[in-house]
Structure formats: structure tokens, C-alpha cells
Structure 1
Amino acid sequence: MTLAPRLDRQPRSALLTVVMSIGLIYALLPLVWLIISSTKTQESLIGSFGLWFSGPFALFDNIAQVLSYDDGIYARWFLNTFIYVVAGAGGATFLATLAGYGAAKYAFPGKRLVFAIVLGAIAVPGTALAVPTFLMFSELGLTNTMWAIIVPSLISPFGFYLIWVYAAESVPTELLEAARVDGSGELRTFFTISLRLLAPGVVTVALFAIVATWNNYFLPLIMLNDPDLFPLTIGLQQWNLQAVGVGSQPIFNLVITGSLLAIIPIVIAFLLLQRYWQSGLSAGSVKQ
């Protein structure tokens, strides 16, 4: 008599477990250092071991100093970043959804050419386009304005491609045809039927766009010179230069605490949207 193997038993690999554990430690170590260092005063940071607590617990004092330093400019940077994310990432998600859905569900001349151009645009790094974008916006007189950050953020070739692929698999053509037979217009069909089916893909694109815009550094660096328009990335870098440069000021604890506050919204976004993100990435991977 032979015993059939249990189907619910998954194979295990000791090597894979070790590699994943090392990767997890590598990913979490900077975050642990940031959290611990944010609890230290400027004096405690000097000469202390970064991965252990020392000196008085100063997290709340550091937060208060971050929000009050330089007339509360950090709050302005935070608001600027939020505006760039809402307008830039939100607009990029909306446009990518419309364009990707249209490309997936409608036939038009040059469709394959558009697909090839989109793939080529994904392969071009954003830093390669930063200088040409600056020159173009300089001619238009839009540098050192919020539009110089928002408008380039509206274009997301990767989001366009992702929605295109996702819509082709998740929105049945038969369902659209049935809606047309019932007299539903294209816009009504999109917003009442298709958009619900595209929700995981849309959230995935939104998450990528939010992270890219929140962490955007090089574009604001060359576009902006007014501190009141800086996002958090540029503002914290300016503080860091003050803390470690010539004639440095004792504000390194503010740089660290400000960095901790800056990553909290991204962590919250990932925790809230990860289930949509995972389902979006796996869409189409299993053939029914």
C-alpha cells in the first residue's frame, strides 16, 4: 500500500530561506537605524552606536524641532510634496487608465507602433529626459513653478503599458458588447463597468506613481530654486548640506527625524494598497 503525497505540503529550501532572511535584514536595517537614530539628541548621535538606543529619548522633541525649524519650512515641503503627488501621480494614473484601456479595447491604425513606442519609452531613464525637459520648460517660462514638477509627472509610460496589458485580460470584450447592445455609451460603460474590473490595475499604477512622485529628486533639483516650492527630497537634502557641510549646523538629528516622517505616508500607502498591488501584478499570470 502506497501513501499518496499530501497536496497541501509545500517544498522547503533551507538555502532559499537563508537568502530571503539576508535580503529581509538588508532591507530593514536602514529603517531600524533611522527609527533608533530619530530617538537621539544631536549630542547622542555623535559617537554612539547607530543600531542601539543611547542618551535621553528625544523623538518627540526632535519632531517638534523639525516642525518649527526655519519658520516651519518642513510643513511647507510636506504640503508641496502632497500637492505634487495628488496632482502629478493622480493625473498620471487617470491618464494612463484612459489611454491603456482605449489601446487595449479599441482598434486603430498604428496600434503596434504605439505599443513599440511605449515599450521604448519605458526603457528610457527619467534622468536622461531631465535636461531636455528643463530646457523646454525654460523656454515656456515654467521653471521654478509647481507646473514644472506636475506636468512631467503626468506622463507614465509604465502605467500606460500596465493598464493596457491588464485591461486586455480583465475586461471581457463580450461584456462591453452586451453593454453597447443595452444602449450604454462608451463613457458610461467605462466608468460603471470597466473601471470596477480595472480597480486592481489602477491601484497598482497609482501606487507606483505615488512612490515615484514622492521620491522624485532629480527633476525638482534642476527645476526649482525657491525653497517654498521644494518637495521633501530637496528640502531634506538642503538640511543635510547644512548639517555636514562647511560651517555645519547642529541639525543632523532634524535631518534624520525629518526623513523618518517623510517615509511614513509611503509605508501607510503600501500597507493599505498591498493587496490590490499583489493582485494587479499577478493578473494574467494564470491562464484559465
Structure 2
Amino acid sequence: MSSTSSTSSTSSPVTTGSHSAPAEAGGASKGTPRLRTRRKDVPRRPKRSILLTVLTGLILVYTVVPLLWLVISATKTQDGLANSSGLWFSHKFALWSNIHDTFTYHDGIFVRWLLNTLLYVVLGAGGATLLAILGGYALAKFKFPGKRAVFAVVIGAVAVPGTALAVPTFLMFSKMGLTDTPWAVIIPSLVSPFGLYLMWVFASEAIPTELMEAARIDGAGEIRTFFQVALPLLAPGTVTVLLFTTVATWNNYFLPLIMLKDPKWYPLTLGLDAWNSQAQTIGGDVIFNLVITGSLLTIVPLIAAFLLLQKYWQSGLAAGSVKE
């Protein structure tokens, strides 16, 4: 009896324990709080600022209204400019006749001025871009004595306006006998301190040093490394500098004004100013309609260049702004 009772007493706790374990586990699972799934962060819409909207609208109006006035005025005759509103068309649409008269006036001198401007841009702005690429690449990727001094000179040259150097440049070129020649405009245009600094900064971020070392290990020389490895990576910065130098050379007015006397070498800016000044001379032709039409034709190539190269220009400006 005692062995039986002891056996039953020892077996009952085991049986009870075996049945109570799942119950305790189930109770624990019901009692514990469930983990909540984390919601994805929904991007919040930026708050609208009335002041910022008003300022943006004013800047838009300030930018678009002169361009709109130029387009509308180019469709008017000389009489239509005086007898109609500035921001509305006249009774006669004369855009095509104005364009024809602009290209044929005074034996087609406008075409000569356009070709002169293209010459100054191709040689001046193109040469300035090439020198900026070479100088920026060398300053960014090579170490040499006097590098800090060169940096200080470049920064100082960026701070000096071009008009402050126009008169000393004229005196130097007059002694060399280069005034009243295309070289008096092309040679100063080859120097672009801002383009050099921009390419310096861009090359230091866009060209990995490890990539250059790998090319050298594979047996590539410095010239081949530059043209096949570095130059393709510098394409956005190259387009950016080219746009800046092209606009600066295309709109250059003061330097040709003091360097050139022969109207055959005038750029578009100086030529249109000469047409505009005819109204103030005795017996001069009043051709404000041709001046306005010529101004419209002058800005069309710049607008087309910005629209075609906009993606390269934006990527060039954003290079180096984010550090990985």
C-alpha cells in the first residue's frame, strides 16, 4: 500500500506538471503585449510660405517681362514702336521683315558682327575652357612647390573685376601693336580665373586618386591617363565652365569698346550700340526696330545653349556638394 501510494503521489505531480506547462505558456503568450510594426515615414509636404511665394513671383516678373517686351517689340515697325503699347502688338506684324532688314542693312554688317562674335567665342571662350581644364586638373591632382601661392593668386584674380584690368590691358596691347585687331579681344578672353577655380574644385572631387593610380599601374602615361580617364569624368565641369565663359565673351562690351575702332571687327554688342547711337547723330538713320530685332537674334543662341546643356550644367554645379 505504501509503495502504491508513494508511486501515485510521485506520478501525479509529473502528470499535473506536464498538463500545466502548456497552460502557463498559453497564458504567458496571451498576457505579453504584441510588437507593433513600425510605420514607414511619410514625407511631409513643405509648408507654404506666402512671403517666399511673393518674392519668387516678383523675381519671375522681373525676369520674364523684359524678355516678353523684347519679343513683342521685335514684331513692330519703327512707327509701331512709337504708336503702340510696349507690352502689346501693333496693327502690323513685321517680325520677318525686321529680321530680313537686320541681316541686309548696311551691306549685311550684322552678319559680319555675328561671325566676329562667333570667332571670339570659339577662340576666346574655347581656349579659356581648355586652359581651365588643364590648370584645374594639374592643381587638383599634382603636388608641386608654390601650390598655395598659386591658389592665393587665383582667388585674388577672381575678386578683381574685369573692367579694372581693361585700361592696363589696353596700354600693354597698344605698345605691342595689337589694338584694333581680333587678338585684342581674344587674348584677354583666354584668362578665366573663375573657370580655373571651378575646374580645380570639380577635378578634386570628380577624379578618384585610386583610379589614376590603377591606370598608371596598367602602364598608362600621364597624357593617356588625362585623356582616357580624367577627361570623361570632367565632362560636367567642362560644360559648366564653357557656358560661363561663352556668356562672358558673348556679352563682352567694355573690352571691345576700348580695343576696337574698325566697325568690321565689332562684336554684336558693340555693333548694336553703334546702331542705337545713330539716332543721336545729325542725319543718322533711326532704326530702333532693327536694334531690338538684332538684340532678340543675339540672345537666341545663348538660350539654345542653356536649354541643350542644362543637365550637364546642373550636374556640374552640384558636384562636390554632398560628401559620401
Q: SS state of the match for residue 271, structure 2? A: helix
Identity %: 65
SS at match of 1:241: helix
Partners of 1:164 and 1:21 in 2: how far apart?
36
Do structure 1's residue 215 and structure 2's residue 251 form an aligned pair? yes
Q: Secondary structure at the match of 1:71?
A: coil
Is the Cα contact below 8 Å between 1:40 and 1:57 reproduced in 2?
yes
Alignment partners' CA distance in 2, 1:50 and 1:124: 38
2:288 aligns with 252
Is 2:294 the counterpart of 1:235? Answer: no
**Which residue does 2:160 correspond to in 1?**
124
Q: Contact (CA 8 Å) 1:41, 1:55: kept in 2 or not?
A: no
Q: Per-residue deviation at 1:7?
A: 1.7
CA distance in 2, matches of 1:93, 1:222: 24
User: CA-to-partner distance for each residue in 1:123-148, whole Å, 9 max, x for gaps?
Assistant: 00000000000011111100000000
- RMSD between aligned alpha carbons? 1.5
Task: Work out which of the residue numbers 126, 151, 167 in structure 1 matches 2:187.
Answer: 151
Question: Superposition pairs for residues 180-219 of structure 1, below 5 Å?
Answer: 180-219=216-255
Equivalences, count: 288
Equivalent residue number for residue 110 of structure 1: 146
- The residue that corresponds to 1:39 in the other structure is 75
- Partners of 2:291 and 2:94 in 1: CA distance: 14
Give the structure 1 partner of residue 10 of structure 2: none
2:110 maps to what in 1? Answer: 74
Distance across 1 between alignment mates of 2:280 and 2:89: 22
Q: 1:261 aligns with which of 297, 304, 309?
A: 297
Counterpart of 1:88 (choices 124, 148, 161) is: 124
How many Å separate the matches in 2 of 1:269 and 1:56? 31
1:179 maps to which of 173, 191, 215: 215
Contact 1:85 1:214 in 2 (8 A): yes
Structure 2 unaligned blocks of 5 or more = 1-35
Q: 2:63 aligns with which of 3, 27, 30?
A: 27
The one-letter code sitting in structure 2 at the alignment partner of 1:173 is T
State TM-score, norm by structure 1.
0.97
How far is 1:237 from its partner? 0.1
1:12 aligns with 2:48: yes
Deviation per CA, 1:232-283, whole angstroms, max 9, x where unpaired? Answer: 0000000000134554423110000000000000000110111111111111
Check whether the contact 1:166–1:284 (CA below 8 A) recurs between aligned residues. yes
- Please state whether the residue corresponding to 1:35 is helix, strand or coil: helix
Name the SS for the 1:46 alignment partner. helix
Q: 2: distance between equivalents of 1:34 and 1:122?
A: 33
Gaps of 5+ in 1: none
